[in-house]
Structure 1
Amino acid sequence: MAMSLVTIVILLTSTAAAAYDLSFLASGCDIRGTFVDDLTGLNPTVSYCLGRAFAKKLGPYKTILLGRDPRTHGEVLTKSFCSGFLDENSLATTPSSHVKITGLATTPSVFHSCLTGFVDGGVMITASHLPKDRNGLKIFTKDGPLSVKERDDLLKEAGRIMDDCDLDGTHIGEGIENVNFMSVYVSFLVDFVNERVGEKGLAGLKILVNSGGGSGYFLVDVLEQCGADVSSSINLSPNGSFPKGPPNPENKKMVKETIEACEREKNVDLAIMLDTDGDRVGFITPSSTGEYVPLNRNRFVAVMTAILANSRPEGEETAYVVTDSVTSTGLEKFVNGLPGMRMIRFKKGYMNVINEAKRLCKEEGKAAELAIETSGHSAFRANNWMDDGTYSAVVVVCELAKRGGRVNDMIAGLEEASFEEELRLQVLENETSDVYAKIEAAVRGDGRWMVDELNKEGVRLVLGGKWGSGWFMLRPSLHDPVVSMQVECDEGVAAKLVSEVRNVIFGAVGDNVSYGDLDAIE
C-alpha cells in the first residue's frame, strides 16, 4: 500500500466558552461556505474539525475516500479533512485503516465508492455551481448522503471539537493512499452502456460534451470507449478559476456557448452539459427544423420520464415520478398522459425529492421510480437513488442509440409556456418567514388568482381570466437569503403580469422588499 506524509498547517485560537456555531455552513442538505482565512467561512481548520467529527460518527478502523472538484482551495481542504479523520482514529501511530484520495472526481463517483463497499464513507469537496470563492462538502455512507439532521449533528460536533482543540503549528498525518477511483466509475458507466445497446455500442453518434472546466470531463472517456465520436467536445480541461463561470446546465451563457459549438460542428446528435461536480446535466438537441435547442428544465424532466415509461413492460403497476415544486402544469399533463406514469410535485432540493420518492416506496407502497429536479438533478430507483448527471446522460445517449432520430421527438406533446423566468426578490429578514402567508391571504377571494392547494412550499398561484394561462410561485431560495419567484405565462402578458405581481407583493409586505429582477421585465 502506497503511503504518504501530508503536512497541514492549522491555526486555531480558542477563546469561546461554548462550542463554535457552524450552522451558517448548512446549505440545503450540504455543507457550503466561502473559503476564507478566518472562522467566518470554510477554511482548513473547519475542515479538520469536520474530519474528526466524521471519524467519530463512523467509528474506529474505517476507511474513507475523498474526491474534489477543480477549485483551487479543494486540495488543502481535502488534506485538512484527512488529517482530522486520521487524528481522531489515532492512525498516525496505528495505520491499520486509512484514507484514500482520488483527486479530481465527481460527486456520484464518491457515493459509488460507498455503495460498492470500496470504503465505509465518502467525502466530496465541492460547492457545485456556486462561485469560485465558495467550497463545501458532500458526505456519504453506504446508506446514501447524510440526512439534514446528520449533517447538522456533524456541524455541532465539529464546533465542539473546534472549541476544545489547541492546535498551533505543523501537523503530520500518516495513513493516506492515492487511488484512481474515477477509472472504476468509468468502467461502471461503460458496462451500463454495453448492457443497454449491445455490441453496436454508440457507433455512428456524434456527441458534444461541455464540462465547463469542471470534473465532468471524464464522460468523454466513457462515450469514446463505447464508440461515439466526441471530437467536437469543449471546455474539457479542469479549471478551478472558472473564467466562464462555474459550469451549470441552467446557466444561459453555458447553454448559448454549447448551441454555438453545435452549430459550428454541424451534425451533432446530442450535446451534454455538466455542472462542476457531475451530478447535474442538461442537453442540447437538434430540432425538426434543424436548429439546436435546449433540452433542460421541464423538457429534461419530460424526456427522462418518457425514457422510463418506454422501458417499463406493459401492464406493470403505475410508476411515480417525484419532481420539485417549480415544474409546469404542461409537464404534469404530459407525464400523467404517458402509459402507467404519474407525477407528484414536491419541494425544491434534490434530497427533498429523493427522500419523498423513498418514502412513497416504503410507507405507501407506491412504485416511485424517479426523483428529478428541473435543475438537472435526477436519481433513479434502479441506480440506488444516486443523484447522478452522468448516469442520466448515458441513459439518454443509450435511448438515442436505440431509437435513432432526435431525443426531443419523444416529448413532442409537451405543452410549454412562451414566457418562463426565475427571478429573485430581496425581502427584509423580519418579513421572510411569513411573506408567503401574507401574499396568499392577500389574493384569496380575488377572482384573478387561484391558490394551488397541492403546492408544498411557499405560495403558488394559478392565473386565469385576462392573464391567459400560467402561474407564478414564490418560495425561499435553497442557498441564498432571497425569495425565488418562478413565472410561466403567455409572452404577450408577461410584463403586465409581473406588474400585477408587484402590486400583490406590495399589498402584502409593503416597502419591505427589493424587487430586483422584476425590474428587468418590460
Structure 2
Amino acid sequence: MHQRKADGGIMVTASHNPREYNGLKIRGRSGESIFLGTGLEKIRAIASRGKTRRAKMLGNIEFNNSYREKYISFFSKHISIKRRIRVAIDAGGGSTALFLPQILSLFPNIEYTPLFFEPDGSFKKHPPNPLLPESQKWIKAELGRGKYNFGVAFDGDGDRVMFFDEKANLLDSQFVFLPIALKALEKKRKAVIVLPVDTSRAVRRAIEEHGGRVELSRRGYVFLQTAMRKFASPISVERSGHYFFKDFSYDDSGIFAFLAFAEYVSGSPLPVSKIVEPDIQFASTGELNVTVRDKARALADARNRYRRAPNVRVGEIDGVTIEFPDWWFNIRASNTEPVVRLVIEADTEELLREKRAEIEKLLGSP
C-alpha cells in the first residue's frame, strides 16, 4: 500500500481462527486499520442499506509478484544474525509457510527445523491459535528432542507469534519484547515506547532505566497503532503475541518479531531462559477472566473501593487501573462475554494472593 500509495487495502483472513471464520481486515490510505470508530461504521451503514450503484469508473485487477520479493528482502535490510543459532519453527500450515523458506535463506546463521511448512487452510495438524495448549504440543516436543536456542509458533495469518525457550517453556510476550525494545533504545535513547495498560511494571521500569519514556495505551490493534503513530514509537507489544514495528508501517508482524528476537539472541552469550528473565521480579496473575453479573458495576465497584486510598493512582485509559507503590491491577470489561479481564501484579507472592482474594471477593460471581 505504501509503495503504491494506494487508497486502501483489504486482507482476507480468519486470523487465529479456523477458515470458516474468514473475514476482511480493511486498511485506510496511510495503512491504518479501519475499525468501528475509524470508518467501519460508515461501511456497515452503506452495506446495511442494501442498495448499490454502478461506479462511474471501474477498476482493474493486477497481479504483481514483485511485492512478494520486496516483502522477503525487507527483513534482510533490518536484521543481522551475528552467530549461528538453532531454532524450531512451527508455521502451523498458515500463511507464514509461504514465505519463511525464502526469508530464512537470507539468514544462513539461522539453522532451523521446520514444522508444518506446507500451507493447509483446513489446519488438520493443529488449531491455528498458538496460545492453545493443543497447538503447542509439536513445538514443545521438537524442542525436547534437540539442542535449540529457542522455538516459535505462528498463528494462521502470521501476525502473531509465541516464543518458547530452550527448555520448551512458553514465554511471556512482554518479556520477549523487552530485549528487542532495549535494542531499539540503543538507536534512539529517548524514544517513546507505547505499551498497553496491563504491561508489567518490570517492563516499564526497564525501559525508563534505559532512557525511554513509556506512554500507556488502550489494548487493541487500532488503539496501539494510533498511539504509536502519535508518538513515533519504534515498537510495541500485546500479551497475546502481537508485536508492532514502526519500520513495518506501525503494523504487527510475527516474522519480524521472530527475526528481531533471533538477532538479539545471536548477540548474547546467555540462554533464552535468562535473556527473558527481568532484572526486577514481580508476582503476577497474568490475565484472569472473572465472571460477573454486571460488568459496568464491577468496574465501578473496583474504582470506588480504592480511589480514595492513600498513595493511590487511578487511571481509566482502558477499564480501570489502580496503582499502589507495592501492587497494582487493571480491570476491563470483555466486549463479547459476561466477564471482566483482570491483571494483578505485586511485589511478593504473598501480597499477590492477598490482593487477588480481596478483589475477587469485591467483584463477586454469579
TM interval, shorter chain, is 0.7 to 0.9
Q: Aligned letter for 1:328?
A: S
Counterparts of 1:481 and 1:503, CA distance in 2? 17
Q: Summarize the Cα distance change of 1:132–1:398 in structure 2 as closer, same or farther, 3 Å threshold.
A: same
The CA deviation at 1:146 is: 3.7
> Any idea what the Cα deviations from partners look like across 1:135-157, whole Å, max 9, x if unmatched?
32111244013443212211111
Map 1:313-324; keep pairs closer than 5 Å: 318-324=190-196
Counterparts of 2:277 and 2:290, CA distance in 1? 34
Q: Aligned letter for 2:257?
A: S
Map 1:65-104; keep pairs closer than 5 Å: none
Identify the residue that residue 49 of structure 1 maps to in structure 2. Answer: none
The CA deviation at 1:129 is: 2.3
The CA deviation at 1:348 is: 0.6
In the TM superposition, structure 1's runs of 4+ consecutive aligned residues that sit over 6 Å from their partners are none
Report the secondary structure of 2:105's partner residue: helix
Larger Rg: 1
Counterparts of 2:217 and 2:227, CA distance in 1? 8
Report the secondary structure of 1:188's partner residue: helix
Identify the residue that residue 234 of structure 2 maps to in structure 1. Answer: 369
The CA deviation at 1:165 is: 5.7
Q: Summarize the Cα distance change of 1:415–1:259 in structure 2 as closer, same or farther, 3 Å threshold.
A: farther
Q: Aligned letter for 1:504?
A: L
Counterparts of 1:443 and 1:485, CA distance in 2? 15
Counterparts of 1:185 and 1:426, CA distance in 2? 47
- Which of 484, 491, 504 is residue 341 of structure 2 equivalent to? 484
Give the structure-1-normalised TM-score. Answer: 0.60
> Any idea what the Cα deviations from partners look like across 1:306-335, whole Å, max 9, x if unmatched?
2212334xxx5x111101111112221121
> Any idea what the Cα deviations from partners look like across 1:228-278, whole Å, max 9, x if unmatched?
4554222323333345654344444445543332121x2212322222211
Identify the residue that residue 458 of structure 1 maps to in structure 2. Answer: 319
> Any idea what the Cα deviations from partners look like across 1:30-49, whole Å, max 9, x if unmatched?
xxxxxxxxxxxxxxxxxxxx
Does structure 2 conserve the Cα–Cα contact (< 8 Å) formed by 1:208 and 1:272?
A: yes
Map 1:7-406; keep pairs closer than 5 Å: 114-117=1-4, 120-130=7-17, 132-148=19-35, 149-160=38-49, 162=50, 164=51, 176=61, 178=63, 180=65, 183-192=68-77, 196-197=79-80, 204-217=84-97, 218-243=99-124, 246-255=127-136, 257-264=138-145, 266-286=146-166, 291-312=167-188, 318-338=190-210, 340-361=211-232, 368-403=233-268, 405-406=270-271
Identify the residue that residue 299 of structure 2 maps to in structure 1. Answer: 436
Q: Summarize the Cα distance change of 1:132–1:187 in structure 2 as closer, same or farther, 3 Å threshold.
A: closer
Gaps of 5+ in 2: none
Q: Summarize the Cα distance change of 1:154–1:209 in structure 2 as closer, same or farther, 3 Å threshold.
A: same
Q: Which moved more, 1:383-392 or 1:437-446?
A: 437-446
Gaps of 5+ in 1: 1-113, 167-172, 362-367, 507-512, 515-522
Aligned residues: 358
Does structure 2 conserve the Cα–Cα contact (< 8 Å) formed by 1:120 and 1:141?
A: yes
Counterparts of 1:272 and 1:182, CA distance in 2? 25
> Any idea what the Cα deviations from partners look like across 1:192-232, whole Å, max 9, x if unmatched?
25xx43xxx67732222112232122224311332145542
CA RMSD of aligned residues (A): 3.3
Q: Summarize the Cα distance change of 1:244–1:419 in structure 2 as closer, same or farther, 3 Å threshold.
A: farther
The CA deviation at 1:158 is: 1.6
Counterparts of 1:420 and 1:244, CA distance in 2? 31
Q: Summarize the Cα distance change of 1:479–1:222 in structure 2 as closer, same or farther, 3 Å threshold.
A: farther
Q: Aligned letter for 1:121?
A: G
The CA deviation at 1:493 is: 6.0
The CA deviation at 1:423 is: 1.9
The CA deviation at 1:495 is: 5.4
